[in-house]
Amino acid sequence: MTLSLIIFLPLLGALLPPLFIRLGRTACAWSAALLAGTALAILLYHSPAVFAGETLVFTQPWLPALGLNFSLRLDGLGLLFALLILGIGLLIILYARYYLSEHDPMGRFYGMLLLFMAAMLGIVLSENLLLLLVFWELTSLSSFLLIGYWKHRSDARQGARMALAITGGGGLAMLAGILLLGHITGSYELSVVLASAELIQAHALYPVTLALILLGAFTKSAQFPFHFWLPHAMAAPTPVSAYLHSATMVKAGVFLLARLFPALSGTELWFFLVAGTGTATLLLGAYHALFKHDLKGLLAYSTVSHLGLITLLFGIGTPLAAVAGVFHIINHATFKASLFMAAGIIDHETGTRDMRRLGGLWRFMPHTATLAMVAAASMAGVPLFNGFLSKEMFFAETLHAGWMGEWSWLLPLLATLAALFSVAYSVRFIHDVFFGTGPRDITRKPHEPPRYMKVPVEVLVALCLLVGILPAWTVAPLLAAAAASTVGAELPYYSLAIWHGFNLPLLMSLIALAGGVILYLLRFRLFALHDRIFPLCDAKAWFECGLARTIAVSHQLTAWLENGSLQRYAMLLVASVLIVIGTSLWGTTLTGPVAMGTVDGVTLTGALVLGVSALATVIWHRRRLAALVLLSVVGLVVSVAFVRFSAPDLALTQLSVEMVTILLLMLALYFLPQHSPAESSTARRWRDGLLAAGAGLSVAALAWGVLTRPLETISGYFLEQSKPGGGGSNVVNVILVDFRGFDTLGEITVLAIAAFGIYALLQGLRLPSPTTDGEGRPWAEDRHPLILSAVSRPLLPLALMVSLYILLRGHNLPGGGFIAGLVTAVALILQYVASGVVWTRERLPFDYIKLTASGVLVATLTGVASWWFAHPFLTSTFEYVQLPLLGKFELASAMVFDVGVYLTVVGSTLLILANLGKLTLVSQPHEETK
């Protein structure tokens, strides 16, 4: 349990600094240090057990179905890394307190730093590989925030995004690799995976798995060819660079190599992939470091190079190489973090990091200079400093690398070459900054930094010396514990001593030291040469260019696909229909067993009229009123066709709906140009015509297929049950109000919503209205012709009576609420047409919104009422009553429902039409523009 505290305390701590900043900058730093310090204390509390060879494991299930558990593991390797993370982290907190200026939001900085610290601790303490990945990506995310800390600087933003894209992308590849690893071993727990080396390496998926996991490790540890993000991440504040880009985050990649070393290493593929990448990175980094004029740039490439060195060591694959790798991780963390901090101090005190402007700082800050010199000597691998020890081991291992066959001389040679460059840039770091002439163009007089800003550097430099001089007394137990858990087996014998006698590694060191100094003396000639050879070799530019290209392509693609053309979208929809119906029906027997009936002349004539007028509507769609008249013909013929095929209810409904629609269209047409321009090219029209014909044929095929098959439907039940169960002999109506009354309730709701929606849309709408008709003639003077008003008024009571009749008898004969409502609505609309809005509203003072809503409410409550009788919603009941004068009369609950339908239809139709009609009252006349 306390293991998880090591992660959760810094995570919790991420919240404190933003709160404590109100108490001042020092309090803020203390709040950050407090929880990190506590976590370190807990870690130390557990360390004796680890030194005794135990592996502490803590497991809490998270998503066991997937194998994702919150399980932690503290072994030697984890301990080493956790110590580095927390120890250096605390030093960084102290350092940053003095590094950050008054303008920098310190609370945010510490918050993000602790978030990163927690994530990093998570990586090194994870027992579950998926959990490790969770923390892995969290470090990418928090480092994105840290690199972009100075958000106003574009290089910071770019560097942050690039780092995130590369390391986050690598993480995605690693995710795939880990999933494969889990697939092979059946578990994501490290204890299982590490014990399954044979199984993994014999598996067919081993190469893919390895490659994917290495992608993750290499991107994180800035290995060639992904190294380029690291130098650009130097836009971050220096404490961040010192922490993330020397000691911790970039070490996550090599940590993973160490962590999975027992499971994945030892094959030829591993050797060539890992050692090869490591070697390339080692050389490339060392070479570029020499040519950077920016202090942090030099350190960044040096880091790249040293990470390559560590990768190479793990790639060699022998236990001793792994020991050397772990050792160099420790040494690099100490000397590189102190160098970064020294660079930060120099930047802080002089205002520049450009080595061409710096120089001669020894006079101003001898203390800092001494510290930097010790650290740089360690980086160069000078004896008595810790870098020397691990570099010696490194040289020794390159001499013993397997798999190389006749080429085994190559690796030591390249290693010496890289070391030579390493010495050269270390010398440059010291000489160009602290000695020689300068500084130049410095605005302020440099002096030593605040006392406490140097303390972290002093601590680290002291470690460099202690480890370098007395390795066996200091680092040996930790190294042994970490190396043992890395290798996963008994460690072979190795000795941590400064002096191993005269041997080949020592010779290589001496060559490197001497050669490095010579190389430095020749530097100006080399700079010129470098500028000539590599003027354009910038991976960052390639990355940005590639990204820009991708964005440009997606712009074009998206603009082409989503071009805002309704015609295009409709075309795609219709084409989809054509394709699915076509592929389903093509080559199959469409005709079923049922023969077609005969056709009579009248029906044929009707079909002809229908076809011709439909076609003419399309052809004349640009002459709008004419098209509207033709559309009326279509509607009329369809209604008559319904009658012809024994569906009087449908016919009545269709007729009424038709009329309301036409009225609606005319109301809208008034505000539109009388003629619409031609918008489609001829080719387009042909394409659309073909599509339309195809769609028509498809639907015809479906209809043909259905009609030639026997119709055995549930309608038989409806016919049977209509009278005894539903209490009505008009099955259509009983279906509407009873069998499928729920559908009807839904549909009247739709109608009501449409009315409310249109009402809402029309509110506040002001449209210009035309002053002349399509041919440019002025409108007639007479608003409400007397004859029309006179004829229309008597029609109203007549129509109301008819609709009442239709409503009441609907249950048994054609009719019902829907038709009745439409008839009433049309009759009322006629009054609007004949006598105007004002006149009609005076005499019809209903609130149409409430009328509509009450219709739906009546229908709904009818349904709810059945709950009273312990029946489901909308259960109907009916009773026959004897009424005086009228005789036997049926009362059905469904009739109340039908009244609801009636009210809704009347209300919503009037709400729509009357509000559209009212538009003109508030609109301004204008000349129609062609």
Partner 1 sequence: MLALAIPIAFALMSLALLLNLWRVVRGPDLPDRILALDTLYINSIALLVLFGIHLDTMIYFEVALLIAMMGFVGTVAVAKYLLRGDIIE
Partner 2 sequence: MTHTIILPVLLPLLTALVLLFGSRRSLAWKRGVSLAATAALLPLGLLLLQQTYSGAYGVYALGNWVAPFGIVLVLDRLAALMLLLTALLSLPALLYASHGDDHTGPNFHALFQFQLMGLNGAFLTGDLFNLFVFFEVLLIASYALLLHGAGPARSRAGLHYVILNLVGSGLFLLAVGTLYGITGTLNMADLAVRVAAAGPADAPLLRAAGLLLLVVFALKAALLPLYFWLPRAYSAASAPVAALFAIMTKVGVYSIVRVYSLIFGAQAGLLADTALAWLWPLALATLVLGALGALAARELRTLIAYLVVVSVGTLLAGFALNNNAALAASLYYLLHSTLVAGGLFLLAGLIRTQRGAEGDQLHPAAPVSQPALLGSLFFIAAVAVVGMPPLSGFIGKLLLLSSVPPGMQLIWLWAIVLGSGLLALITLSRAGSQLFWNTLEITPVAPRADRLRLAAVVLLLASAPLLSLFAEPVHRYTQATAAQLYAPAGYIHAVLGARDIPRLTIGPEERP
Residues lying near partner 1 in the complex (CB under 8 A) are found at 601-602, 605-606, 608-609, 612-613, 616, 625-626, 628-630, 632-633, 636-637, 639-640, 643-644, 648, 651-652, 655-656, 658-659, 662-663, 666-667, 669-670, 769-770, 773, 779-780, 782-783, 785, 788, 792, 795, 799, 802, 806, 813-814, 823, 826-827, 829-830, 832-834, 836-837, 913-914, 916-918, 920-921
* Contact indicator for 833, 659 with CB cutoff of 8 Å: no
Q: How far is the CB of 816 from partner 2 (least distance, A)?
A: 16
Q: Which is nearer to partner 1, 189 or 658 (CB)?
A: 658
Which residues have C-beta within 8 Å of that of residue 17, sequence separation ≥ 6?
28, 29, 31, 32, 106, 107, 108, 109, 110, 111, 114
Cβ closest to partner 2, residue 203 vs residue 357: 203
Q: Site residues for partner 2, window 154-213 (CB under 8 A)?
A: 154, 157, 160-161, 164-165, 168-169, 172-173, 175-176, 179, 182-183
For residue 803 the two structure tokens come to: 């609709």
597: DSSP letter: P
Among 535, 778, 845, 872, binds partner 2 (CB under 8 A): 872
CA 475-480-483 angle, to 5 degrees, is 115
Q: Cα–Cα distance between 918 and 921 in angstroms, integer?
A: 5
| CB 412 to partner 2: min, Å | 39
CB 923 within 8 A of CB 766: yes
Q: Does residue number 714 form part of the binding site for partner 2 (CB under 8 A)?
A: yes
Residue 271: CB atoms within 10 A of its CB come to 18
User: Residues with Cβ < 8 Å from 392, sequence gap 6 or more?
Assistant: 381, 500, 505, 506, 509
420 binding partner (options partner 1, partner 2, none; Cβ < 5 to 8 Å by kind): none
Residue 488 touches which of partner 1, partner 2, none (CB < 5 to 8 A by kind)?
none
Minimum Å distance from CB 913 to partner 1? 7
- Beta carbon nearer to partner 2, 547 or 619: 547
Q: Which does 53 bind (CB under 5 to 8 A by kind): partner 1, partner 2, none?
A: none
For residue 617, the partner it binds in partner 2, partner 1, none, with Cβ less than 5 to 8 A by kind, is: none
Applying CB under 8 A, among 87, 148, 237, 814 the residue interacting with partner 2 is: 148
What's the Cα-to-Cα distance from 516 to each of 382, 427, 585, rounded to whole Å? 12, 8, 79
Q: Phi and psi for 110 in degrees, rounded to 5?
A: -65, -40
Q: Which residue has the tokens 């009252």?
A: 921
Q: Which of 510, 309, 311 is nearest to 420 (CA)?
A: 510
Shortest distance (Å) from residue 628 CB to partner 1 = 8
Q: Distance (Å, rounded) from C-alpha 324 to C-alpha 392?
A: 9
**CA distances from residue 678 to 620, 623, 692, 927 in whole angstroms, order as listed:** 11, 11, 18, 21
Residue among 498 and 833 whose Cβ is closer to partner 1? 833
Cα–Cα distance between 95 and 247 in angstroms, integer? 15
Residue 881 main-chain phi, psi, to 5 deg: -125, 155
User: How near is the Cβ of 726 to partner 2 at its closest, in Å?
Assistant: 9
| Residue numbers 509-548 binding partner 2 by CB under 8 A | 547
Binding mask 731-770 for partner 2 (x = CB under 8 A): -------xxxxxx--xx-xx--xx-xx-xxx-x-------
| Number of amino acids touching partner 2 (CB under 8 A) | 120
Contacts (CB under 8 A) with partner 2, residues 97-126: 108
Closest CA to 271 of 162, 361, 404: 404
C-beta closer to partner 2: residue 335 or 543: 543
For residue 65, the partner it binds in partner 1, partner 2, none, with Cβ less than 5 to 8 A by kind, is: partner 2
Binding letters toward partner 2, positions 5-44, x by CB under 8 A: -------------x--------------------------
Please give the structure tokens belonging to residue 535.
Answer: 């003027």
Supply the minimum distance, in Å, between the C-beta of residue 578 and partner 1: 30
| Residue labelled with tokens 């839904």 | 746
Residue 920: contacted member of partner 1, partner 2, none (CB under 5 to 8 Å, by partner type): partner 1
Q: Which is nearer to partner 1, 681 or 763 (CB)?
A: 763
DSSP state of 598: P
Site for partner 2 in 217-246 (CB under 8 A): none
Quick check: 205 and 184 in contact, CB under 8 A? yes
CA distance 331 to 396: 17
Which of the listed partners (partner 1, partner 2, none) does 909 bind, with a CB threshold of 5 to 8 Å by partner kind?
none
- Cβ atoms of 436 and 360 within 8 Å: the answer is yes
Residue with Cβ nearer partner 1 (102 or 782): 782
Residues 559-598 interacting with partner 2 (rule: CB under 8 A): 559, 561-564, 566, 568-570, 572-574, 576-577, 580-581, 583-585, 588-590, 592
Residue by residue, DSSP assigns 716-761 as HHHHHHHHHHHS-S-HHHHIIIIITHHHHHHHHHHHHHHHHHHHHH
3-state helix, strand, coil in the chain (%, to 5): 75, 5, 25
CB nearer partner 1, residue 280 or residue 652: 652
Q: Which does 813 bind (CB under 5 to 8 A by kind): partner 2, partner 1, none?
A: partner 1
Say how many residues make up the chain.
930
Residue 924, SS3 per DSSP: coil
Shortest Å, Cβ 643 to partner 1: 5
Residue 72 binds partner 2 (CB under 8 A): no
Tokens standing for residue 659: 């009329």
Give the Cα separation of 29 and 819 in Å (integer): 79
